[in-house]
Amino acid sequence: MSRAEETREPRGHHQGSDQAPVASVQPAGVPSQGPVGLADTPAQKVLRARVREACAAFGDAYWRELDRQRAYPEEFVRAFSQNRLLAALIPDEYGGLGLPLSDAAIITEEINHAGGNAGTAHAQMYIMGALLRHGSPAQKRRWLPPIARGALRLQAFGVTEAAAGSDTTQIRTEAVRHGDVYVVNGEKRWTSRLQNSDLMLLLARTSASPPGDKTRGLSLFLVDLREAKGAVRAEPIRVMMNNHTNAVTIRDLVVPAESRIGEEGRGFRYLLDGLNTERILIAAECIGDGRWFIEHARDYSKERVVFDRPIGQNQGVQFPIARAHIAVESADLMRRQASARFDAGVSCGAEANMAKLLASEASWQAANACLDTFGGNGFAADYDVERKFRETRLYTVAPVANNLILCYVAEHVLGLPRSY
């Protein structure tokens, strides 16, 4: 972060005035780096520059056309696989970069800050975490190297069902064991990127939950979609942003028992282990979005002249942008705190959840300020505001609703009675 300019007197200030001096703003285009101890390290600054350079090949026109066609970012994914940025969290012994989560969050942040959509990046990063943490040595040796080099894609996660959204314990998809295989039947909803994945992580019920522990009885499987032709059918769901999500029907899918991740019946626990990673990566994306909105609103408000003055000279335009900036930078501090605790191996559930809530709300606040600043032009596709506006709205409700985060904080942080 550049050193702030010296404090200077505002226009009209004089000795003895009640008005306090005002310090200059952060240099244009430079995000805050947090307090000492949470600022980017020299290596992280290099990584941030590397990601920005990689993103430069995929400008606004690229993402705008993908959005128009509702197309998968094939060229982007291929490039970010070749440079191993999608393998950021895979250990170097398996061909990945072996980076901490703090660094991976920089990648997703910068993709969105550049005007892109990091959905394919965060999906591969956190989905493969279950394999990395709970897979057998043989499973890791078989699958992680080709995932790391981009030969295989693991970007689909079959969890949510029509009757099992926030309450994952209500999953009805069943996996029945027959000797050395499981036969899976059921339906999933909101399974994204299935058509563009070679592998899918699948959560299914393998037994009834015992009394007093409804989280038991669910198991996690790594499904090779290349061998599941005919047994897995995807029906695309058109949504308001370019997200490639599906309703999935599974009929008599045969999965080798050796493809089960970890112990039978403990899949729910394995799922929970990856949620902090997901929350932090999503928070970083929202911060990238927020900075994109703020910078575009700032620049446009300087250039747009109405009644012989730039609209950015009006407090009615300035204040919403300034408030959004404050919200985004505050959320970034929580994101950095959460990722630092994660990398240190200490409890970070509260911080990860709070970071996701703060960042998603801040990015949505910034989106509204930006759209208001652009006025009618904000609704025109060529300005990209409406595309980013639609994309960032998702994160206040998914992958976890912010109201559920409030329930978590109330119960697990503040010690209030459980509300659901």
Per-residue pLDDT at 212: 83
Q: Is the pLDDT of residue 35 over 90?
A: no
Domain 154-265 CATH class label: mainly beta
Measured distance CA(344)–CA(112) in Å, rounded: 26
Cα separation, 319 vs 327, in Å, equals: 12
Domain ranges of the chain: 42-148, 154-265, 272-413
Torsion of CA 346, 347, 353, 355, to 10 degrees: -30
Bridge pairing between strands 154-158 and 199-205: parallel
Whether the bond into 145 is cis, omega within 30 of 0: no
Q: Does the pLDDT at position 7 exceed 80? A: no
| Count of Cβ atoms closer than 10 Å to residue 12 Cβ | 7
Q: What is the mean pLDDT of residues 326-331?
A: 98
Query: CA 412, CA 192: separation in Å to the nearest integer?
Result: 30
Please give the pLDDT value at position 10: 35
- 3 state SS of 5: coil
Contact by Cβ (8 Å): 352, 399: no
φ/ψ of 49, rounded to 5, equals -65, -35
Give residue 300's pLDDT.
Answer: 99
Structure token pair of residue 254: 């045969």
Q: What is the pLDDT of residues 206-244, one digit of tens each?
A: 999 888 888 899 999 999 999 998 999 999 999 999 999
Helix 101-113 and helix 315-344, axial crossing angle in degrees, nearest 10: 150
Q: What is the mean pLDDT of residues 178-193?
A: 97
pLDDT of residue 333 exceeding 90, the answer is yes
Given a cut of 60, whether residue 27 has pLDDT beyond it is no
DSSP secondary structure string, 68-87? HHT---HHHHHHHHHTTGGG
What is the pLDDT of the chain when averaged over all its residues?
92
Flag whether the pTM goes above 0.95. no
What is the β-pairing status of strands 154-158 and 174-178?
A: unpaired
Average pLDDT in the 362-381 region?
99
* pLDDT (0 to 100) of residue 287: 99
The beta strand positions in 336-403, using DSSP E, are none
Q: Which amino acid type is present at position 270?
A: Y
For the purposes of burial, counting CB atoms within 10 Å of the CB of 301, is it exposed (0-12), middle (13-18) or buried (19 or more)? Answer: buried
Q: Which residue has the higher pLDDT, 39 or 220?
A: 220
Phi and psi (nearest 5°) for 220? -110, 135
Rounded to the nearest 10°, the torsion over CA 240, 86, 356, 46 is -120
Do residues 368 and 66 make contact, with C-beta atoms less than 8 angstroms apart?
no
Q: Judge whether 290 and 366 are in contact, CB under 8 Å.
A: yes
d(CA 262, CA 272): 14
* Tokens matching residue 305: 């002249």
What CA–CA distance (Å, rounded) separates 163 from 182? Answer: 23
**Run of H or E residues at 408:** helix 402-408
* Amino acid residing at 379: F
Q: Which residues of 104-133 are buried (b: 16+ CB within 10 A; e: fewer)?
A: bbbbbbbbbbbbbbbbbbbbbbbbbbbbbe
**So what's the pLDDT on residue 11?**
36
Distance separating alpha carbons of residues 235 and 246, to the nearest angstrom: 5
Interatomic CA distance for residues 400 and 361, integer angstroms: 13
Q: Topology of domain 42-148, per CATH?
A: Butyryl-Coa Dehydrogenase, subunit A; domain 1 (1.10.540)
The Cα 170–Cα 85 span in angstroms is: 35
Express each pLDDT in 56-99 by its tens digit. 999 999 999 999 999 999 999 999 999 999 999 999 999 999 99
Q: What is the mean pLDDT of residues 389-407?
A: 96
Tell me, what's the pLDDT at 28?
46
Residue 27 CA to residue 287 CA, distance in Å, equals 18
d(CA 160, CA 298): 39
Looking at the structure, give the CATH architecture of the domain made up of residues 272-413: Up-down Bundle (1.20)
Residue 242 to residue 26: CA distance in whole angstroms: 33
pLDDT at 34: 52
Helix (H) / strand (E) containing 179: none
Q: Quickly state the pLDDT bin for 1 (edges 50, 70, 90).
A: very low
Give me the percent of the chain exceeding a pLDDT of 70. 91
- Please determine whether the domains at 42-148 and 154-265 fall in the same fold group of CATH: no
Residue, of 11 and 176, whose pLDDT is higher: 176
Examine the pLDDT at 37 and tell me if it is beyond 70.
Answer: no
Which amino acid makes up residue 348?
C
Give the H/E segment covering residue 224.
Answer: strand 218-224
Output phi, psi for 29, to 5 deg. 80, 0
User: Rounded to an integer, what distance in angstroms lies between the CA atom of residue 158 and that of residue 191?
Assistant: 5
For residue 347, pLDDT over 50 is answered with yes
